[in-house]
Each structure stands twice: as structure tokens, then as C-alpha cells.
């Protein structure tokens, strides 16, 4: 705005000087014209009044005309000297126009431009900060979502692990048939033989080649040994049927009959509680030949007494009792058949064949 005002003032000064010069030129011409008229009139009057002095007047008149022409030429030359180009050159040199131009508007524009750039930069920073906040918020949600997914996966893995443990510790249930009287559970056949050296020496793979059988007999075991190791001896195999033969070593060790019966009953109860779908079979303690060294201090009388109590328990607790004692007696029914024993206690192959035929009845 200040620059425009200065330019307008310069133009006014220039126009004022031009008008003054024009006025001077008009005044000069007007003065010359008046002098010319006056001289002409004076010449005419002089010629009229003084005819005699015409020659001298003519000379004077001629001189004046010459003077007038010179003045006229001089005026024209002055007009030519004041051409537009020369006036402009003169005016610009005098005013020094180029040196006095106001450039403040340029600075104002620069300031405004800088302010606009600063505003844009601030707006960009603000938008960038908001974007970063949104990204942090979204990242937070993603982290929470990932944590939830991990927790769900861990929960599923834990459930799978628990299910696997259950499958390991429980027998595989294949089919459930529900009747009006009771629930019947059909499971995979997996036969476990549990006992002492008589069971350990029983070659199950030979006598039951097409069946899933497990030999869990350990030589010298008593009833308490089995009670102390039920998980390793029984539970880990998930048996569908268990055949238990134990007690003869307790008799040799002098354990009271009542304790022997209670321990055998406790073994059966524990299996029934932890493997409710397993069918339990209790073999009667085998007879001995007291005349042979293998029998040691065992007597058939004590064996019969213990078997009698075990038979009662099986009847009360819904456990199948297999009377292998009577099966292995000789013709007189007094001792272990000599064809079925090596030393009066342990069983021969012929004796195991007789036992196998009897047990197969309960394995079908």
C-alpha cells in the first residue's frame, strides 16, 4: 500500500512540472504574438502618417519580422527539446525513482508466506500426533487380542492334556448301551495279569497270541507290595479285565490270615474305584505239594481258609471268583498235582495249559 502511495505522489509531481512547462511555453508565444501585433500596428501607423519615411520603416519592419521568425524558431526548438522521452528521462533522473521504490509489501508477503508454512507445519504435526495415538491405541487392542488368543490356545492345550491324561488313566470307552435295568459299557480288550512269581513265569504271549495281554507279575511280591505300587502295576495299563493271583508269599512270610484277606480285598477295591469299567477276576491261591521243598512252610489248610474268606468277599463286592485251587488238585484232592508243578509251588507248562483253558472262558 505504501509503495502505491509513493508512486501516485511521483506521478502528481511529474504532471505538475509538465503543466508548468506548458504554461511557460504558452506564455512565451502569447507574448511574442502581442509584440508582433503591436509592432505590426506601429508599422502600419507609421507608414500611414509618414510616407516619406517608408523606406526606413520597411527596413525596421523587415528586421522585426526576421526577429519574429527567429523567436518563432526558438520557441519551436524549445518545444522539440521537451519531447516525451526527454521529459521522462529528466523526470526519472530528478526523482531517482528506481532508488526510492518501497519494497515493504515484499516483506509482508514473505511474512505471510512464512506464517502459512508455519501453520501448515503445525497442522501436519498435530495430524501426525493424532495418527500416532490412533496407531498406539490400535496396537494396544492388537496386543490384548493376541493375549486373549494365547490364553484360549493355552486353555485348549490344557484341556487336551487333561483329556489325554484321562484317556491314559481310564479305559477307552467304545460304546454305551443303555437299557432299562443298567448301563452297559463296552471297552477295548486289554487283559492284565497281576501277581507274584507264578504270574511272572506265565508266558502270556505264547498262551494268548491274539490278545492284548500285560504281565504285571513280580517274583517274591506280597500283597503289600502291590498296594504300594498300584499306579505302575495297574493303572498305567488301563486294563479292561484284571486277573489277580497273590497271597502265597504272605503265607510263607507269616502274615496273619486276616491281614492277607484284607490286603487282597483292598487291592480289588482300589482297582474298582480307579478303574470302574474294568472287570475284576480273583484267582484262588494255588495249592502246594507240602512234600516238596518249594512249598516250604505253606500248608493247604491255611490256603483253603484264606480262599474261603476271599470267595465270600467276591460274592459281596461283585467280583468274579475263579476256583483255581480245586482245578489244580490231584485226584485225591489233597495237594497240587505233581504233573502241574516243578517244586511243589511253581507251575509247569502242563499246569499253565490247564489254567489257560480255564481263564479263556472269562476272556471271550
List pLDDT tens digits, range 272-298: 999 999 999 999 999 999 999 999 999
For residue 34, pLDDT beyond 70: no
More confident residue, 174 or 191: 191
Of 70-79, 120-129, 199-208, 336-345, the least confident: 70-79
Same domain, 197 and 315: yes
CATH label of the domain that carries residue 221: 3.40.50.1110
- Between CA 235 and CA 229 the distance in angstroms is 10
**Residue range 257-269, pLDDT digits in tens:** 999 999 999 999 9
**118 and 76 assigned to the same domain:** no
Q: What is the pTM of this model?
A: 0.52
For the record, the C-alpha cell of 292 comes out as: 516238596
Same domain, 227 and 261: yes
Q: How far is CA 165 from CA 127, 171, 355, in A?
A: 56, 11, 35
Q: What angle, 0 to 180 degrees and rounded to 10, lies between the N-to-C axes of helices 2-49 and 54-81?
A: 170
- Residues 80 and 108 grouped into a single domain: no
Confidence check: pLDDT of 62 > 50: yes
Q: Considering 114, 141, 169, which residue would you say is the last residue of a domain? A: 169
- More confident site: 167 or 337: 337
Can you tell me the mean pLDDT for 330-354?
94
Q: Is the pLDDT of residue 193 over 70?
A: yes
Could you tell me if 352 and 306 lie in one domain? yes
**Do 302 and 333 lie in a common domain?**
yes
State the pLDDT at residue 165: 78
Please report the pLDDT score of residue 149 as a whole number.
Answer: 85
User: Would the pLDDT of 364 be above 80?
Assistant: no
Residues 109 and 74 in one domain: no
Asked if 187 and 297 sit in the same domain, the reply is: yes
Instruction: Place 18 in a pLDDT band, splitting at 50, 70 and 90.
Output: low
338, 194: one domain:
yes
Q: Does 88 share its domain with 201?
A: no
| Mean pLDDT of all residues belonging to the chain | 78
More confident residue, 65 or 206: 206
**Does residue 197 register a pLDDT over 50?**
yes
Residue 362 has pLDDT above 60, yes or no: yes
User: Do 285 and 347 have their domain in common?
Assistant: yes
Give ∠ CA 247-253-254 in degrees, rounded to 5: 95
pLDDT in tens, 118-153: 888 888 788 888 888 887 777 777 777 788 888 889
* Structural domain that includes position 25: 2-100
Among 298, 230, 287, which Cα is nearest to 263's? Answer: 230
Q: What are the DSSP calls for 153-168, one per residue?
A: HHHHHHHHHHHHHHHH
Counting residues of the chain whose pLDDT is more than 70, the rounded percentage is 66
One domain, residues 164 and 185: no
Look at the chain and report how many structural domains it folds into: 3
- pLDDT at residue number 220: 95
Amino acid at each position: 500500500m505504501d509503495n502505491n502511495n509513493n508512486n501516485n505522489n511521483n506521478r502528481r509531481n511529474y504532471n505538475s512540472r509538465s503543466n508548468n512547462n506548458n504554461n511557460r511555453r504558452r506564455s512565451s508565444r502569447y507574448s511574442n504574438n502581442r509584440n508582433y501585433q503591436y509592432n505590426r500596428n506601429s508599422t502600419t501607423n507609421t507608414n500611414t502618417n509618414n510616407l516619406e519615411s517608408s523606406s526606413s520603416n520597411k527596413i525596421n519592419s523587415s528586421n522585426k519580422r526576421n526577429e519574429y521568425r527567429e523567436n518563432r524558431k526558438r520557441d519551436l526548438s524549445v518545444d522539440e527539446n521537451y519531447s516525451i522521452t526527454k521529459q521522462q528521462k529528466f523526470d526519472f533522473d530528478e526523482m531517482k525513482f528506481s532508488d526510492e521504490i518501497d519494497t515493504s509489501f515484499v516483506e509482508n508477503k514473505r511474512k505471510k508466506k512464512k506464517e502459512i508454512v508455519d501453520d501448515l507445519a503445525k497442522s501436519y504435526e498435530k495430524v501426525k500426533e493424532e495418527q500416532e495415538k490412533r496407531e498406539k491405541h490400535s496396537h494396544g487392542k492388537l496386543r490384548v487380542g493376541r493375549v486373549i488368543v494365547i490364553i484360549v490356545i493355552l486353555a485348549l492345550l490344557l484341556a487336551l492334556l487333561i483329556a489325554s491324561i484321562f484317556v491314559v488313566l481310564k479305559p477307552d470307552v467304545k460304546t454305551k448301551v443303555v437299557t432299562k435295568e443298567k448301563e452297559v459299557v463296552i471297552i477295548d480288550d486289554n487283559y492284565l495279569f497281576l501277581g507274584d512269581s507264578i504270574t511272572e513265569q506265565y508266558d502270556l504271549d505264547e498262551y494268548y497270541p491274539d490278545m492284548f495281554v500285560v504281565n504285571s507279575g513280580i517274583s517274591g511280591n506280597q500283597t503289600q507290595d502291590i498296594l504300594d505300587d498300584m499306579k505302575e502295576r495297574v493303572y498305567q495299563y488301563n486294563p479292561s479285565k484284571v486277573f489277580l493271583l497273590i497271597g502265597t508269599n504272605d503265607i510263607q512270610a507269616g502274615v496273619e490270615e486276616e491281614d492277607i484277606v484284607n490286603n487282597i480285598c483292598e487291592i480289588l477295591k482300589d482297582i474298582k474305584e480307579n478303574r470302574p469299567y474294568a472287570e475284576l477276576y480273583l484267582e484262588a491261591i494255588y495249592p502246594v505239594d507240602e512234600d516238596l521243598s518249594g512249598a516250604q512252610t505253606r500248608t493247604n489248610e491255611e490256603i483253603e481258609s484264606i480262599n474261603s474268606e476271599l470267595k465270600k468277599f467276591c460274592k459281596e463286592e461283585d467280583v468274579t471268583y475263579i476256583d483255581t485251587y480245586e482245578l489244580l488238585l490231584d485226584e485225591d484232592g489233597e495237594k497240587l498235582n505233581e504233573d502241574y508243578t516243578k517244586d511243589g509251588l511253581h507251575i509247569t507248562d502242563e499246569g499253565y495249559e490247564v489254567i489257560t483253558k480255564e481263564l479263556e472262558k472269562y476272556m471271550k
